[in-house]
Structure 1
Amino acid sequence: MFENQPKGLWALALANTGERFGYYTMLAVFLLYLQANFGYATGTASTIYSTFLMMVYFLPIIGGIAADKFGFGKMVTSGIFIMFIGYLVLSLPLGKDMVAAGAMGLALVLIAFGTGLFKGNLQVMVGRLYDEPKYAQNRDSGFSLFYMAINIGAMFAPTAAIKIMDWAQTSLGVSVEDSYHFAFAVACASLIVSIAIYYIFGFTYKHVLASETKKKDDDSLERKDFNELSPAETKERIVCLCLVFAVVIFFWMAFHQNGATLTLFARDYTQKTSEGLQSMAFDVRNLVACIFVVYASFGLAQSKTFKGKLISLGVIVAAISYLFYAYNALEGAVDVKAPIFQQFNPCYVVALTPVSVAIFSWLNKIGKEPTSPEKIGLGMLVAALGFVWMAVGSMGLELPLTQGDPATEGTRVSANLLISTYLILTFAELLLSPIGISFVTKVAPPKYAGLMMGLWFGATAIGNQLVMLPGIMWGQNLSLVTIWGVLAGICLLSAVFIFSIIKKLNKVS
């Protein structure tokens, strides 16, 4: 996985890690900020949150069009600077009036637009690194590394948000609502690091930017159109992709509850402290040690040299020793803040990606690997299971309130409910998200490849907009079991739909 990768991959991956770290630091506390600072009802706050997510995933379509005209490198750089201005405005404590709300809206537009210029175009640059024949066979593993880099940034983000807010409150004496601005300022700092990495190590990918010529693009189109599909085949593929896009909408609607209703559940219904072995899960350093154990175990099993196996074994021993030390150093209970739960999904992605790759490689060898459409259907089934699990764990709890006050100071459930739910949803993500992108690139008719990828982002954007619906339900005197049940039902129906047309999808894949 790590061998024979272009040097430019690491520069672009680290630049993206810095940007994603800032983005997820902001996102970890954003909905809570809307309620703490402006007093918005849950439905209103969820609508603002989901609309922002929608813009973040819709605007890469515009960013791609701009890159075709002005160049990918220019758009990536412009995106970073525009995002920086947006985060800077968001980090200013402007108060709670209409001016402050307007400034926040402007900041969100700038962040979304900057992300639209940066996000997709940086991925195109990564893809072009693998146009060289010597790297072509490692394209999939390269994007897996790039995807993991994104999640490494996301994994540390909730801890950074909580720590900087705690420091602002205890050391500077700022109020809780003003402390959120310090978390947003972290995003500004992370973008400075991101742009520094992008420029300092630009020599590793400059050949990609130098290749942005019309002639090269025209030659590429000629090669792609060499084996043109018939009109009937083109129509069939587009129809199949659109059917998949329809399902993707509901996956992201359910999955991105992590920053919405699942965070509200963490705040209002989950135990505020944790002790013993469970409490170790809330220290990101312990999670990193577990990830080292996973990767070193693969290294131990796959290394072909004694030195490689010895190094892997040493890493395993060191990581486990640290975990024993951390466990023995525990003293009493630790506070559990609602945003911290958002670290589990990226942690699971980083830890489970090699496991997922290994499982499907083994299934492929024995001729039992599911097709891409089958994996998408399975992903929806797993997502449904995640929300069924939440419904079971929420039985007997009080109705949600609308203003963000704790629903009860009585019954609170174990943190293990959310920890395990994020694990289930991560399995669903690994089955659907990267597989879905692969399916689009494989099935899309050559002349419509750009449009089809744009529609993938568009479907994601619509799903993010629909994230608000469970948030609106949160304040309508509906039980938690009903809210989670609706999400589970949507995922289950989507899975049934996929499997009902599986023969049609397998035919074109």
Structure 2
Amino acid sequence: MRDTLNNEQKSSILLLLTSKTFERLAFYLIMAILVQFLTDSLKIDTTKAGIYYSVFYGVIGITTLFSGLLGDLRDRMRIVKIGFILLTIMYLAISFLPSISSLIVIALILLGLGIGLISPNIIVFLGNIYNEKENETIGLPGFILFSITINIGALIAPLFSIYLKNNLGYYSVFLFAFLFGLLSLILFLKFKNQYNKLDLVAERKDYFENVDTKKLNTFILISILAIGILIRLALHQKGLTFSFAARDFLENGINLNQTFNNIEKYISIILLVIFVFSITRIKRLNWGRIFNIILVGLIFLIIAFVLIASYSSLSQLVSGNGLFIQSYIFILIAETLISPVLLYSIYRSSPVKYKGLFQGISFIVVAISNQLLFLGVLLYKKNASMTFIGFAITLLIAAILILTLKKNVTNKLTEIEMNNKIKADNK
């Protein structure tokens, strides 16, 4: 893909993603020990600690749904800055709180608010930096890098958190979370200064999309949101019915699942790095190629589910462990290809002035997909093999819908280009 970014844009992306990396490091540091801290250090009973944990995550989820729209309507930069300030202060404050329920709940709510204010708006800032006009699609590498930052935080922080807790105690974990949060705030403030120097179409009040392009983007947006439910319903089975199958089909299935959990982030980061490098080699990225990436991911996912469904037959020919390992790697490849592309597609196709709103809507779609995961469990209990065949069929339907979407979008883009050419010739 041709390098269309200037140095100011590149440095803005670097600052933003580095800030996000430290924010995730702080978040995962605390998540690794939060319940233990509540029960061991503050002497809160397990049931109440679980309720506090649920309240905390609930506040993050609810705030995330609406903070993007708030960013659209108000000062997005200020909202994110408030989020960083809240989480930085609360990481430090929680460690010094007495064991008083009301104070702990308030602190966790404020921390959840801070985290929820940040995530969808950071994504909007990231996409805006690429300054895409009309039907340009050059921002995908940034969204892959965004996925890498999330995985780096999820990989490093829990290990570091356990080390700190075992050697220096709980308060050291909160201290480092505070330092990481403070560093992420400082980096974001530096990003703010850099971002404000950029001339971006998304920040212009006088910028209006071409009517035909706007209609096309709306069609893409609705289609991706709907198809995304089908894809995620199957993709998220990795941690559910896939784990059940490994446990039930293999003698060492529980150990294999634990091994998968231990190495998943390492493999995901490696695959994402390969992915972003490959994308930057493409001379011209367009919607057709973006849909092709999703299709390739779906093919890997379908093959993985068919392999598991055929376990009883194939295990006579190949090692059962080898079959599950191969399927697991295929699922990780699919996730690597699909997840950042869906995230980018939703950003790119959403209206310029309401990109934050649709980030919130995309979180709702993910939540709907997660709520439907129980269907996999119900089907698995009745017939394990047919469950994976069912998911493969679901993914095949998603692939057909993506192919149809690709055809319609390609035809519409050709029509728009012809209309633009006719208008130019008539001037």
Q: Letter of the 1:139 partner, please give it.
A: G
Counterpart for residue 350 of structure 1: 269
Q: Report Cα offsets for 1:215-260 as digits up to 9, x if no partner.
A: x54322x2x1443666xx78855652342242255257435769x9
Q: Is the 8 A contact 2:309 2:389 kept in 1?
A: no
Instruction: Report deviation, 1:360.
Output: 6.6
Q: 1:148 to 1:235 in 2, by over 3 A?
A: closer
Q: Is the 8 A contact 1:60 1:120 kept in 2?
A: yes
Q: Letter of the 1:187 partner, please give it.
A: A
Q: How does 1:23-102 map to 2 (within 5 A)?
A: 23-28=27-32, 38-39=45-46, 56=60, 59-88=63-92, 91=95, 100=101
Q: 1:87 to 1:424 in 2, by over 3 A?
A: farther
Counterpart for residue 394 of structure 2: 494
**Does the alignment pair 1:241 with 2:224?**
yes
Counterpart for residue 17 of structure 2: 13
Query: Per the alignment, in what secondary structure is the counterpart of residue 346 of structure 2?
Result: helix
**Take 1:390 and 1:189, find their aligned partners in 2: how far apart are those partners?**
45
**Does the alignment pair 1:457 with 2:363?**
yes
Counterpart for residue 183 of structure 2: 193
Instruction: Report deviation, 1:78.
Output: 0.6
**Take 2:265 and 2:127, find their aligned partners in 1: how far apart are those partners?**
22
Counterpart for residue 417 of structure 2: none
**Take 2:221 and 2:211, find their aligned partners in 1: how far apart are those partners?**
19
Counterpart for residue 424 of structure 2: none
TM-score, normalised to structure 1's length? 0.57
Q: 1:451 to 1:153 in 2, by over 3 A?
A: closer
Q: How does 1:326-475 map to 2 (within 5 A)?
A: 344-357=263-276, 372-373=290-291, 375-376=293-294, 379=297, 382=300, 423-441=329-347, 443-444=349-350, 451-464=357-370, 469=374
Counterpart for residue 250 of structure 1: 233
**Structure 2: 5+ residue stretches without partners:** 312-320, 410-427
Query: Per the alignment, in what secondary structure is the counterpart of residue 212 of structure 2?
Result: coil
Q: How does 1:262-273 map to 2 (within 5 A)?
A: none
Q: Is the 8 A contact 2:72 2:354 kept in 1?
A: no
Q: 1:138 to 1:497 in 2, by over 3 A?
A: closer
Q: 1:22 to 1:392 in 2, by over 3 A?
A: farther
Q: Percent of aligned pairs with the same residue?
A: 22
Q: Report Cα offsets for 1:96-145 as digits up to 9, x if no partner.
A: xxx55x66654554333222211122232233333399xx9863334433
Q: How does 1:119-130 map to 2 (within 5 A)?
A: 119-130=119-130
TM-score, normalised to structure 2's length? 0.66
**Take 1:158 and 1:417, find their aligned partners in 2: how far apart are those partners?**
30
Q: How does 1:276-295 map to 2 (within 5 A)?
A: none
Instruction: Report deviation, 1:15.
Output: 0.8
Matched residue count = 385
**Take 1:187 and 1:417, find their aligned partners in 2: how far apart are those partners?**
40
**Take 2:293 and 2:322, find their aligned partners in 1: how far apart are those partners?**
27
Instruction: Report deviation, 1:191.
Output: 0.4
**Does the alignment pair 1:227 with 2:133?**
no
Counterpart for residue 416 of structure 2: none
Q: Is the 8 A contact 1:82 1:110 kept in 2?
A: yes
Q: 1:446 to 1:142 in 2, by over 3 A?
A: closer
**Does the alignment pair 1:507 with 2:426?**
no
Q: Is the 8 A contact 2:67 2:360 kept in 1?
A: no
Q: Report Cα offsets for 1:262-318 as digits up to 9, x if no partner.
A: 9x99xx98559xxxxxxxxxxxxxxxxxxxxxxxxxxxxxxxxxxxxxxxxxxxxxx
**Take 2:139 and 2:221, find their aligned partners in 1: how far apart are those partners?**
25
Query: Per the alignment, in what secondary structure is the counterpart of residue 197 of structure 2?
Result: helix
